[in-house]
Amino acid sequence: MLSDVTTPQDLDDRFRETLAALPAAPRRRDPAAPVTDDAPLTGARLLDLFDAQVTSRQLDLAGRWLRSFGEGFYTIGSAGHEGNAAVAAALRPTDPALLHYRSGAFYCVRAAQAAADTAPAETPDAEPAADRQQAADREQGTDPDPATEVEPAGSAPPAGGFAPYAEAARDVLRGMVASSQEPIAGGRHKVFGRADLNVVPTTSTIASHLPRAVGMGLAVERLRRLDSAGRRTGAGVRVGDGVSPWPSDAIVVCSFGDASVNHASATAAFNTAGWYDHAGLRIPVLFVCEDNGLGISVRSPQGWVEAALRAKPGIRYVSADGADPVRTYEVAQEAVDWVRRHRRPAVLHLRTVRLMGHAGADAESAYRGPAELAEDLDRDPVVATARLLVDAGVATGEELLARYDETGWQVRRIAEEVLGEPKLASAADVVSALAPRRPVRVARAVGDAAARASGPGAAARAEAFGGKPPELAGPLTLAQSINAALADGLLDHPQMAIFGEDVAAKGGVYGVTKGLRDTFGAARVFDTLLDETSVLGLGLGAGLAGMLPVPEIQYLAYLHNAEDQLRGEAATMRFFSQGAFRNPMVVRVAGLAYQEGFGGHFHNDNSVAVLRDVPGLVIAVPARPDDAAPMLRTCLASAAVDGSVCVFLEPIALYHTRDLYAEGDGEWLAGYPEPGAWVAGHVPVGRARVYQVGSADDLTIITFGNGVRMSLRAAAVLAEEGVGTRVVDLRWLAPLPVADIIRESSSTGRVLVVDETRRSGGVGEGVIAALVDAGYVGAARRVAGVDSFVPLGPAARHVLVSTEAITDGARTLLAR
């Protein structure tokens, strides 16, 4: 019957029957000897892997048991993938790992490795008697061949069993029941992760963690190559501070399923790793594709995964059968050694099976037949390991079954214990780790940067700016102010790096990063390939490795195909790790509309809704040069202090704008503050700027970006009509400056929201909602962009906000 090969009970029964039927080997083998002739694993080591596999299997069974009475919330298991235990054994516990959701055995091995590395060394007195006798025999030249040594009947295999994996089992079970004491996500999700195990939590979004893995590899290698002597490079910047959390020879391991090979994020990651390898830059990443032939119910065509992986340029391909632990370990060890030695990417194609379906609710009978399911059971990796141990004479089937039962009892006991642990009890508990805000520390960090720039770093700063610092350069445009602030950031943050398409040699398509590579060197300002997913992935990995990445997305419209790297990866890291891991980042994006004589939708995108929906994300929109530098300093400090993920959205049309009211008035220019003025000019996250025109008593205009310039022009026209206006520049779209919005709106009782984004899903909706939530009872009106993409040329004027539309909207509001 179909049920005989699909349910947890039947999987357990099948395992028991198979082990009971295994005939004992004619002779016992010394567990310290290779498990087979020339095998890279000893019997004892393979027995350890068996115990890890069994622990993982029993956790899967426990997950289904917990779910059966409503106490378990996650049933995607690792059954059939336990061959990844051998992959973990080939790695070091200091190699950072990003694991997919069928990594139970890998996680168990990693936890045991880390515990062994920190355990105190045994004293000579603790040496077992049998070992002392063997040592004596060897000294006398009478030591028998361990591969053929006959042990007394009834001799048991070495101890070990469940104990080394108990802590890992508790971690996993806590995740299944959403316990707030779970060590990585604290009950927010069931993930494999722990900081002390160097296991970085990943979400279940398919393949989204692969670009991050490439970024981690690039960052590990760049930090490794920094001048260990601490010599100064480019503009006197000191490097080599040793901030990487991993050893200099560490490699990154990243696992995923066969269906993920087809995902755009995976394609981007493979392409980027190969691209850098082809260019001569090193990416020490081992990709592990665990291929069970299925993406839930969709089959991977026969041979497709191998063909796809073999075809990846610049990435070495190796393969192994997950049902053969010895060969898997051997291949994995060779791949790990190769990546570690050559600092180049490789992919291990590990063939696996999937037992018990995709998850507890998956009815495999809808798409798989009994014969196929039975065939997978014949390739059960835990049975394969048991069979090898019995055939080699390391243990008997009865002994292994006893270990299996003991582990099952222990897992069930721990499961019952964690059932009583507390859950997250409030919304505050849930969001506490999401995006901490410590404005006092951020302000202090800005002050410290100012003190360094005017004190011990003054000479290096003078050198970087060629003897003419920006505060002596006269009034600057928005682009020039951002450029100067980036240079000051590079001077103050030794691990800061700026990268993206065209940012280095060209200096950005609008010249915003011009000259930075020449001053600070190609290791800190560099061009990337044309792929936004990879640009953000590099930033995510660099942030985890201890750098302060400042990636650039060339246009806002280009961000949308890579947005999940911000939503599903960047913004969730602190949430799913309770702050144990973070990926600080300041993403510069050129965006919004109003470019004259150029554009169309892809160069005049006015949609930010997808960013405002991301919990915890900081979104800054500087309109004026004198706001741009302090806001950028705040974002850099917030990233460094709080691990914030910030989007610095730069209005393209204002980059080189010089005038406000009339041609040649120069009133959109501003001086760059000297370091001594940085503290006084500090702009905290979530604080608006208010301009008062005339009496400022009649009308409040709330706006941002290009709307600030248009609103100030409209306010000047209204002032001639006797209307006093407050123009509120939000500056921050997330978090919105709600207190400033309420205060300035209440001062006049008439609010005009000028939103250059779209009427539906635009920023204005959030402003109006904030007013309603606060009980605002005055008049309110919106002037917003039309729900349309921005067309080319003069047609754009029909869908975008204009100064005239703002003036007319104000008059209508005042006439009520």
What distance in Å separates the CA atoms of residue 549 and residue 293, rounded to the nearest whole number?
37
Confirm whether 603 is a catalytic residue: yes
Retrieve residue 40's tokens: 């890279």
What own/partner pairs with CB < 8 Å and gap ≥ 24 does 178-183 have?
A: 178/73, 178/423, 178/424, 179/418, 179/421, 179/422, 179/423, 180/421, 180/422, 180/423, 180/424, 180/425, 180/429, 181/418, 181/421, 181/422
Give dist(CA 791, CA 778) in Å, integer: 36
Torsion angle of C-alpha atoms 304, 305, 308, 313, degrees rounded to 10:
-160
CA 178 to chain centre: 22
Distance separating alpha carbons of residues 723 and 698, to the nearest angstrom: 6
All residues at 6 or more sequence positions from 102 whose CB lies less than 8 Å from its CB, including other chains? 76, 77, 78, 80, 81, 84, 257, 290, 352
Chain centroid to Cα 388, Å, comes to: 39
173 vs 717: CA distance, rounded Å: 66
Question: Are 292 and 80 spatial neighbours (Cβ–Cβ below 8 Å)?
Answer: yes
- Report which DSSP code applies to 288: E
The helix or strand, by DSSP H or E, that contains position 757, with its residue range, turns out to be strand 750-758
Is residue 547 within 8 Å of 503, Cβ to Cβ?
A: no
Please confirm whether the linkage preceding 673 is cis (ω < 30° from 0).
no
Q: Is 213 left (phi over 0), alpha (psi -120 to 50) or beta?
A: alpha
Q: Which of 278, 603, 682, 798 is catalytic?
A: 603
CA distances from 118 to 93, 111, 121, 643, 660 (A): 11, 11, 9, 29, 65
What are the tokens at 610?
């997808």
Tokens linked to 26: 């004619």
Question: Between β-strands 618-620 and 732-734, what pairing exists: parallel, antiparallel or unpaired?
Answer: antiparallel
Q: Which residues are catalytic?
A: 603
